[in-house]
Amino acid sequence: MRERLAMHETLDLHELISFKSVCATKAAAMSNMATDPALRSLLQQDLQMAKKHINDLQNLLQKHF
């Protein structure tokens, strides 16, 4: 039997996806403006991690929907 998420859990996941999307957008914008190579690298790493988290959260939603 497949487990389903409760409504509040589904809403929480959607909220996390929205938050991570904002984080990814901000990291992308800021990395384009950063002149320091170390800062640019950190922002790009943050962007990649945010994309991974979004993908993981979406997969979790699909798995339990």
Task: Give the model's pLDDT for residue 19.
Answer: 98
The pTM score is: 0.87
pLDDT tens digits, residue range 13-56?
Answer: 999 999 999 999 999 999 999 999 999 999 999 999 999 999 99
Judge whether 55 lies within some domain. Answer: yes
List the domain range (segments joined by +) for residue 22: 7-63
Q: Per-residue pLDDT averaged across 8-12, rounded?
A: 96
Dihedral angle at the C-alpha atoms of 55, 57, 63, 64, nearest 10 degrees? Answer: -160
Residue 30 in domain: yes
In a domain? residue 39 = yes
Q: How confident is the model at residue 64 (pLDDT cuts 50, 70, 90)?
A: confident
Question: Alpha-carbon distance 39 to 60, whole Å?
Answer: 31
Number of structural domains (the chain) is 1
Inside any domain, residue 2: no
Query: Do the domain assignments include residue 25?
Result: yes
1 lies in some domain: no
